[in-house]
Amino acid sequence: KCRYCYLQSVPWGKYRKRDIKLVYEEIKQMKNKVLFIIDDNLFVDFEYAKKVFDAIAPLKKHFIIQAPTTIVKDDELLEKMADAGCYAVAFGFQSVNEGSLEEANIKHNEISRYRKIVQKMRRYNMMVDGFFMFGFDSEDKSVFSATLKVIKEMDLDDAICYILTPYPGTELFRKFDREGRILNYDWSKYSWYNCNFKPMKMTKEELEDGLRWIYKELNKHFKR
């Protein structure tokens, strides 16, 4: 139910699960040894996810997958992921600012547990890639240095940073549109790296410059 998420506006509405035999056959036919599984949320149903991992484990693939931070609560699930060949997980931590998480309606992330989540995944020999978003109304320019500090403390293996994007059909877009804060309606500009709305506590340029700054700092950090 994140307010920036486009999934709530897709036409089919319901959560759908593929037959596990079909998942197995599709992955079996792939020549690639390393995969990026981009399912938006395989982990809505933990028990189904476990069955998927059991099924594909004999294929000896290696993969990175997207997941919510809540998976760390189920050790059996993590064990089956590791046995199936998962070597890295991409988590949408999204923010190190409590106000931003509240504004976005992200109820499953606890900032105080971010480092423990990374440590838990390492125990299962999985690397952690963190996603972080900037531009919420509660944030000023200090959010970039604060986020950099937390990322280093978390000891992440990699991080992807991007600008809050009000995609059409989302609650976020409707809010900004009502408030007259949408700067342009050219959807080709709606990438993660352009600011298409008027931020509350910084300018459009400060938001875009802040993103470039944190990437430069993170590149130095991860190279070390």
Q: What is the pLDDT of residues 3-62, one digit of tens each?
A: 998 887 777 767 889 999 999 999 999 999 999 999 878 999 999 999 999 999 999 999
Q: Give kind and range of the element (H or E) at residue 132.
A: strand 127-134
User: Residue 131's Cα: distance from chain center in Å?
Assistant: 5
| Contact yes or no for 162/1 (Cβ under 8 A) | no
Listed residue (219, 178, 169) closest to 3, CA to CA:
169
pLDDT in the model for residue 40 = 79
pLDDT in the model for residue 224 = 86
Listed residue (69, 71, 32) closest to 50, CA to CA:
71
Examine the pLDDT at 169 and tell me if it is beyond 80: yes
> What is the value of pTM for the model shown?
0.93
Q: Give kind and range of the element (H or E) at residue 160.
A: strand 158-163
What is the token pair recorded at 112?
Answer: 């105080």
DSSP of 49-103, one letter per residue? HHHHHHHHGGG--EEEEEE-GGGGG-HHHHHHHHHHTEEEEEEEEE-S-HHHHHH
pLDDT tens by residue, 146-165: 999 999 999 999 999 999 99
Listed residue (67, 101, 217) closest to 151, CA to CA:
217
CA-angle at 65, arms to 63 and 69, nearest 5°: 140
CA atoms of 87 and 212, how far apart (whole Å): 28
Examine the pLDDT at 1 and tell me if it is beyond 90: no
| Mean pLDDT to the nearest integer, 76-101 | 97
Tell me the C-alpha to C-alpha distance, in Å, between residue 137 and each of 44, 84, 100, 199. Answer: 29, 41, 7, 6
Give the burial string for 65-91 (b: 16+ CB within 10 Å, else e). bbbbbebbebeebbebbbebbbebbbb
pLDDT in the model for residue 219 = 96
User: Residue 142's Cα: distance from chain center in Å?
Assistant: 22
pLDDT tens by residue, 45-76: 999 999 999 999 999 999 999 999 999 999 99
CA atoms of 53 and 18, how far apart (whole Å): 13
Listed residue (173, 162, 152) closest to 215, CA to CA:
162
Q: Which residues pair with 133 in a beta bridge?
A: 162
pLDDT in the model for residue 189 = 92
